Amino acid sequence: MKNDISMELVKKARDGDMAAFEQIYIRTNGFVYNVALRITRNHADAEDVVQEVFINMHKNLPFFRFESSCSTWLYRITANTAISRCRKHSRETEAAAKYKEHLKVESQESPAHGPESAEEKEKIINAMLERLDDDQRACVVLRDMEGLSYDEIVQVLNIPLNTLRSRLHRAREALLEFAQKEIKP
């Protein structure tokens, strides 16, 4: 798993060295923020998830046993925190409503072979992720956007391999359906 943190640095942070904790934050905040953002699809929620994840990490560092890698641990806290935030705010947020509004326009305007600008690409990606339930979205984000292997995702989400396969299969069915309906000329 990429972005892994040395045991030495974790031990320093565990002993109260705030500079070491800052180093861990600097090295890992990118994936924590991006996973949170893709799962929640909302910048404000993603920021809250980042804060919650690192506060949780700081509080629990004394209990970290090095049985899994630090990154696996962080991915796990991030995915769980983001998913539970989504479930808590299951009602439509303002941002999600905006996406849906955009989607209506997008489906009328999208060219045959995908969007042109980075901004349009981003909107399509978010519209695709919107189609998935929270569990499927977490699997797709970890696999396709973070590039984690099946073994790593199984460890992070603490689910059986066949559950992961089934979630990915159902997620991709939904994405195929979306692509056929929405990104056709």
Partner 1 sequence: MTNIIDCDKVRKMLESDYLDNELEASGRELADQHLEKCAACRKTWESLEAITMHLRQAQRQNVPGYLWPRLKAEISRRQAVTASEPDTLPSSIIKLFFMRPSFAAAAAAVILIVISFTVLFQARKPSGAEYTDLISLTGNVEIHEAPASFGSNIEQYLL
- Which residues ranging from 37 to 56 are in contact with partner 1 (CB under 8 A)? 37-38, 47, 50-51, 54-55
- Which residues ranging from 137 to 176 are in contact with partner 1 (CB under 8 A)? 140, 143-145, 147, 149-150, 165, 168-169, 172-173, 175-176
Report the Cα 178 to chain-centroid distance in Å. 20
Distance (Å, rounded) from C-alpha 68 to C-alpha 161?
A: 18
Binding residue (CB under 8 A) for partner 1 from 89, 100, 121, 181: 121
Show the tokens assigned to 118: 């980075």
- Cβ closer to partner 1: 134 or 144? 144
Distance (Å, rounded) from C-alpha 66 to C-alpha 110?
A: 48
Taking the complex as a whole, the smallest distance from the CB of residue 24 to partner 1 amounts, in Å, to 11
Taking the complex as a whole, the smallest distance from the CB of residue 37 to partner 1 amounts, in Å, to 6
Residue 13 binds partner 1 (CB under 8 A)? no
Question: Angle at the Cα of 175 (from 172 to 178), degrees rounded to 5?
Answer: 155
Distance (Å, rounded) from C-alpha 39 to C-alpha 51?
A: 15
Taking the complex as a whole, the smallest distance from the CB of residue 101 to partner 1 amounts, in Å, to 21
Residue in 82, 92, 86 with CA at minimum distance from that of residue 36: 82
Is the torsion defined by CA of 11, 16, 20, 25 positive or negative?
positive
Taking the complex as a whole, the smallest distance from the CB of residue 104 to partner 1 amounts, in Å, to 20
- Which residues ranging from 59 to 118 are in contact with partner 1 (CB under 8 A)? 59, 62-63, 114, 118
Residue in 163, 167, 156 with CA at minimum distance from that of residue 132: 167
Binding residue (CB under 8 A) for partner 1 from 9, 95, 159, 179: 179
Residue 58 binds partner 1 (CB under 8 A)? yes
